[in-house]
């Protein structure tokens, strides 16, 4: 489902087309899609505004509009932003339609007319590109938010989101401090967006495998060395996801409706029963924090002691002593500048 790499891919796709365009009209086909302020006022607040920039924070997509207001989109589980070819009939589950007009980008017909020298017609009716952007969401979890400005945006997100994993604010020291306060299983803790913004079930499992950490190990029990490994593993897993334009296991598509490629490169997620890419041991699946969790029982240490056993002796091995040496997390082949197997 859409996590940081998927939202980032959509952000980059959309930026090409909607920055500079004006929101002529918003259709709410399912009013429940509006989380803020409400479905009655949302369209009027947004209509007529021009899109100045498209940003991302965690899994939120942020449109900066030309009156300083902010339009937030969260795709949750099955949400998609789809930029259909002109004239294509609407698919099922379209919850909102943004009608966009771009005067900077003439429509194809007008460009053709201009190339034939029929410029007078263009002068009478200015060249413009009218397109629709569809918010599609089978399960109706996705939401739209309209905020008055950057202050309101900050107020909404500051208590909800930790640092951006791919920016300088995500440090080994910061991660160590945050994990030290948490007793829960590392898998569940990494899914908490207040700790770190943008990880979801797929990339957490991938990062834990890359770091050689067992998903149920208590967060605060990680050694400094393990936290350092985890830090690099998170960055590597996310960068690979972006390089592959996201992971498509079910609903996810980019803005053109195309599947991502990263599902071909996953190391453990939904690969239970198949051989670990490092050691060949069958990948296991268990439930952690209510989520399906995939890991290599060999590379990712031992399961914790059962509740009736003494806990003085740590049931966890140090991750470094049995990690696969073939693929350390800090040698991600898809990182910028790396040679080798990055998928274009």
Partner DNA sequence: CAATCAACCTGGGTGC
Partner DNA sequence: TGCACCCAGGTTGATT
Examine the residue annotation and report whether 118 is marked as an active-site residue of this protein: no
Examine the residue annotation and report whether 164 is marked as an active-site residue of this protein: no
State the first-to-last Cα distance of the chain, in angstroms, to the nearest integer.
21
Active-site entry in 11, 49, 50, 59: 59
Rounded least distance, CB 199 to DNA, Å: 8
Rounded least distance, CB 76 to DNA, Å: 4
| 87-92 own/partner pairs: CB under 8 Å, 24+ apart | 90/134, 91/134, 91/136, 92/138
Q: How far apart are CA 156 and CA 147, in angstroms?
A: 9
- Cis check for the bond before 276: say yes or no (omega within 30 of 0): no
172-180 and 224-243 helices, crossing angle to 10°: 120
Paired tokens of 143: 């939401």
- If the CB atoms of residues 47 and 141 are measured against DNA, the closer one turns out to be 141
- If the CB atoms of residues 111 and 181 are measured against DNA, the closer one turns out to be 181
Active-site entry in 3, 6, 8, 64: 3
- If the CB atoms of residues 163 and 200 are measured against DNA, the closer one turns out to be 200
Radius of gyration in angstroms for the set of CA atoms belonging to the chain, rounded to a whole number: 23
Rounded least distance, CB 183 to DNA, Å: 3
Residues that bind DNA (CB under 7 A): 1-3, 32, 58-60, 74, 76-78, 92-93, 138-141, 160, 181-185, 188-189, 191, 193, 200-202, 219, 270, 287, 289-292
Active-site entry in 12, 291, 322, 335: 291
Rounded least distance, CB 18 to DNA, Å: 21
Examine the residue annotation and report whether 173 is marked as an active-site residue of this protein: no
Dihedral angle sign, alpha carbons of residues 131, 137, 140, 145: negative
Alpha-carbon torsion angle 169, 175, 178, 183, nearest 10? 160
At 246, phi and psi to the nearest 5? 95, 170
Q: How far apart are CA 257 and CA 341, in angstroms?
A: 25
Rounded least distance, CB 13 to DNA, Å: 19
- If the CB atoms of residues 216 and 319 are measured against DNA, the closer one turns out to be 216
- If the CB atoms of residues 59 and 131 are measured against DNA, the closer one turns out to be 59
Q: How far apart are CA 268 and CA 203, in angstroms?
A: 10
Examine the residue annotation and report whether 111 is marked as an active-site residue of this protein: no
* Active-site residue list: 2-3, 59, 291
């Amino acid at each position: 489902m859409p996590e940081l790499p998927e939202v980032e891919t959509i952000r980059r796709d959309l930026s090409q087309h909607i920055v500079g365009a004006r929101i002529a009209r918003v259709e709410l086909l399912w009013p429940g899609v509006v989380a803020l302020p409400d479905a009655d006022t949302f369209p009027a607040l947004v209509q007529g505004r021009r899109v100045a920039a498209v940003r991302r924070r965690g899994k939120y997509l942020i449109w900066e509009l030309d009156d300083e207001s902010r339009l937030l989109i969260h795709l949750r589980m099955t949400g998609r932003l789809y930029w259909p070819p002109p004239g294509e009939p609407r698919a099922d589950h379209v919850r909102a339609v943004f009608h966009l007009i771009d005067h900077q980008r003439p429509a194809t017909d007008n460009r053709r007319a201009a190339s034939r020298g029929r410029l007078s017609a263009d002068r009478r009716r200015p060249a413009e590109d009218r397109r629709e952007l569809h918010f599609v969401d089978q399960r109706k979890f996705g939401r739209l938010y309209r905020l008055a400005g950057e202050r309101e945006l900050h107020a909404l997100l500051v208590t909800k989101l930790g640092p951006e994993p791919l920016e300088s604010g995500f440090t080994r020291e910061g991660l160590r401090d945050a994990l030290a306060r948490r007793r829960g299983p590392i898998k569940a803790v990494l899914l908490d967006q207040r700790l770190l913004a943008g990880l979801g079930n797929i990339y957490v499992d991938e990062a834990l495998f890359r770091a050689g950490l067992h998903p149920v190990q208590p967060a605060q029990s990680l050694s400094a060395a393990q936290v350092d490994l985890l830090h690099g593993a998170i960055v590597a897993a996310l960068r690979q996801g972006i390089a592959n334009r996201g992971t498509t296991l079910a609903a996810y598509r980019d803005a053109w409706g195309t599947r991502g490629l990263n599902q071909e490169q996953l190391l453990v997620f939904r690969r239970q029963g198949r051989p670990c890419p490092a050691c060949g041991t069958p990948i296991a699946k268990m439930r952690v924090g209510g989520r399906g969790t995939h890991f290599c029982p060999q590379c990712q240490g031992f399961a914790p002691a059962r509740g009736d056993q003494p806990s003085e002796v740590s049931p966890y091995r140090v991750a470094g002593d049995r990690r696969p040496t073939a693929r350390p997390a800090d040698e991600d082949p898809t990182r910028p500048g790396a040679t080798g197997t990055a998928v274009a």
